[in-house]
Amino acid sequence: MAKLFLLCLFSILPALFCWVSSADLPTNYEYFTEGGIVAGLNADQRYFKLNEKEITIFSGAFHYFRVHSSQWRDRLRKMRAAGLNTIETYVSWNLHEYHSGAFDFGHGGSDFEEFLDIAEFIKIAQEEDLFVLVRAGPYICSEWEFGGLPSWLLREKDIKVRTSDEVFLKYVARFWGELLQILEPLQFTNGGPIIAFQVENEYGNTGNHDSEYLHALVSIYRDNEIKELLYTSDPPGAGSNGALPNELLMTANFNSNPTWNLDTLDSLQTDKPTMTMEYWSGWFDHVGEDHHTVSVETYSEIYEAIITHPASVNIYMFVGSTNFGFTNGASSLYSGLDNSGLQPDTTSYDYDAPITEAGEITDKFTATARLIEQYNPVKTKLPEVPETPERVVFEDIKIEEQILLRKIIDDYPEAVVSESIVSMEQLPINNNSGQSFGYVVYRKTGLNLREGAELKISGYVRDTVLVLLNGQLLNPVLSSKSDLDSFGYWRVKDSTVTLTREALREATLDLVVENNARNNYGSLDQFQQFKG
């Protein structure tokens, strides 16, 4: 991949060959900025032009907030070594504005500080000779907690997220005002690597075509000096729902039937470039499922069909990664807010991608490199593929001490006293931003319990619960898939557990409730959800 030979044949001297090594080729940036930058990415014809030169975008998705910053350059260099000329990333609002009005873009002191220097990430991408597509949301889906929306939005009574609701747009404008002042200097026409920005994300899947909302997002971009190309992305089956035809470029998301999907996209907009914004290289996993995979043969066949349509393409995901902490998202089998049908995603976001969660290259990586080399007419200098260190097996660590849940609860300094049950989001903590992730404990003291007393939790738990009576755990922790269908987990409706076999006086009951993920996808009614 790093050694490229251009073969020349001359009819006068049939035995004479010439070759040019990769070292003699221009870099990606040298090729597209030769003579100075006079224009950004243009979509006013059937093909993309960047700086007035025709370009096919060969991109791959890499989410900076899912990979530790110490590994960013390694992954980016591997992406460039595969022949990609562009990378794509989402922006995670709920990490960057971790409390209402408190921002972290790499130096803000939040738990995820080391993952959040988006400017540094984009600068490294440019140093590694890659352009950047930014998908700033405000909603990103991404199998990410609440689709990237901060949970403190739910503290606003009757807020309608992902709509032209003035309250929601007020918060979007505040966040984007902070974000876009960082990204504005990094635009291609300002000498940076960002060639385009996405408006919302798969809005056509909501069943709510709010063009006023999409126009408002465009205005926020432009008011913050964003000059580059703007676009939307949806499965073509959504038609023009979620898009602004003839105003913003429409792009497609799918992983099968490439001819039908791309022909449908072309029928929705004429005389525009064709682009697959999400060609799904694999798939994510819900808790309790086996790991999803896609064969390299199927992957390659569809990827080649997209390229030869012809179309530009972004591979989602190109870099496998991780939902650290409590950041995984969830799907729902049904609409509604009762938590029935919840499908939390796993911590791993390996996605069966060309680069694995551990940073290893795969057969899909090799297949991608081969097809890009075959079909990209613009030949530029590529780096050698960085070596991946061998996996390390750490020695077992002997557990010598423990802290009991009861002691943690007893010693917690910020207990909230309330006459009624309060959701995580509505707790008066974290500068009145509530709690986004993790656990909340509900304690009731002074209980007089009769023999055989039971606890009943009406509806569906949101999302798991451990029951302690006088500090003793009454229900088992998760140890098998079958446990998910028993008391303590989100699958069971109106579940009960026996509290005591004998009568007790002045007992203390603790319910330790964990948020396993707010829904990240679907119709708008699924985004009014509370945990705890």
Active-site residue set: 202, 278
DSSP letter at 489 equals: B
Beta partners for residue 447, in sequence order: 507
Give the CA distances from residue 366 to residues 1, 256, 300, 372, in Å, rounded to whole numbers and listed in that order: 9, 21, 10, 10
Residue 201 near residue 233, CB atoms below 8 Å: yes
The C-alpha atoms of residue 55 and residue 376 are separated, in whole angstroms, by 9
The C-alpha atoms of residue 27 and residue 453 are separated, in whole angstroms, by 73
Greatest extent of the chain over all pairs of C-alpha atoms, in Å: 104
Pairing assessment for the beta strands 249-254 and 275-280 based on DSSP bridges: parallel
The C-alpha atoms of residue 237 and residue 272 are separated, in whole angstroms, by 18
Return the closest-CA partner of residue 247 out of 264, 232, 234.
Answer: 232
Residue 470 near residue 505, CB atoms below 8 Å: no
Cis peptide before 258 (omega within 30 of 0): no
- Tokens 């899912």 correspond to 66
The C-alpha atoms of residue 243 and residue 246 are separated, in whole angstroms, by 9
DSSP letter at 242 equals: T
Token couple for 250: 């429409």
Which are the contacts of 177, defined by CB distance < 8 A and separation ≥ 6? Answer: 220, 224
Sequential DSSP letters for 76-126: HHHHHHTT--EEEEE--HHHHTSBTTB--SSSS-STTGGG--HHHHHHHHH
Residue 120 phi, psi (nearest 5): -65, -40
Kindly give the interhelix angle for 166-183 and 118-127, rounded to the nearest 10 degrees.
40
